Amino acid sequence: MRSSLHLSDDTNQFGPGTDLMISLVAVLLMLSVVTSRLYGREKTRADQAIGDYNDAQKKLATDSAALDSLRKRGLESAGTFRVATESFPAGDFYARPVTRLVSPQQTSERVSRIVEEYHRQDFPHIFVIGHSNTIDDPSAADHSRAARLQRNWDYASRRAALIASLIEVHLSDAERDRLVVMTTGEFDMRNPANPLSQENAWVEVVFGKEWKPPSRGAAP
């Protein structure tokens, strides 16, 4: 009897809570392993996201530098013409008469910005170009295509002449000699898919390095 009692005591020497503790430790180890793997996975994702962000920043910096270079070259010497950043949409003019401005103050401010831009670059000539849509004058006696084209050439040129008259007061005598007023009428539309659109009846300003052949008195 005494031997069996000793044997029983030896097999349970850590007490009745041993199995529970072992189970808890096993659960903790499992949680630790799972947590470690999840952390490793999220860290990998985070590192990848940081890498992608850094790559995007580098590409943005490279693209910005390239764009700045293109802008600088465009402003300095690339090409014979450069379009002004300001223009005059159809909404700046009344339909009748076409030389009446809806907001003279607003148009004057836009003209001032164009003159400032002109003086900041090295294109000596200023082209003021009038455009038109294909809307005809309903009160006209002749509605043939030729008559409509002629009228719209005239309307576009009158709008361009009005803008040119506002620009020239800010120019010197030498600069006025390089001011050119033009009209394309219904041609060279901004929105050719919709020829009736008011978007086509506008006045644009273009700076140029050249515009005419040598004068008759100049040496060939």
Compare 214 and 185 and report the one with higher pLDDT: 185
The residue to which tokens 């005494």 are assigned = 2
* pLDDT exceeds 50 at position 46: yes
For residue 214, report the phi and psi dihedrals to the nearest 5 degrees: -60, 145
Model pLDDT, residue 215 = 57
Least confidently predicted of 44-48, 167-171, 197-201: 44-48
Q: Check if the beta carbon of residue 132 is closer than 8 Å to that of residue 155.
A: yes
Model pLDDT, residue 208 = 94
At 176-198, the pLDDT tens digits run 999 999 999 999 999 999 999 99
Model pLDDT, residue 192 = 92
Helices 145-168 and 104-119 pack at an angle, to 10 degrees, of 70
Peptide bond into 97 cis (omega under 30): yes
Tell me the fold of 81-208.
60s Ribosomal Protein L30; Chain: A; (3.30.1330)
Q: Mean pLDDT across the stretch 46-57?
A: 72
Compare 213 and 199 and report the one with higher pLDDT: 199
| pLDDT cut 90: percent of the chain above it | 58
Model pLDDT, residue 220 = 46
Q: Which amino acid is at 26?
A: A
Q: Mean pLDDT across the stretch 95-123?
A: 95
- Other residues' Cβ atoms within 10 Å of the Cβ of residue 128: 27
Q: What is the pTM of this model?
A: 0.62
**Cα–Cα distance for residue pair 185/55, rounded to 1 Å:** 49
Model pLDDT, residue 60 = 57
**Cα–Cα distance for residue pair 64/69, rounded to 1 Å:** 8
Least confidently predicted of 1-5, 13-17, 103-107: 1-5
And the tokens for 194?
């919709």
Model pLDDT, residue 35 = 82
Mean pLDDT of the chain: 82
Model pLDDT, residue 50 = 80
Q: Mean pLDDT across the stretch 90-115?
A: 95
**Confidence band for 106, pLDDT divided at 50, 70 and 90:** very high
* pLDDT exceeds 80 at position 17: no
Compare 38 and 115 and report the one with higher pLDDT: 115
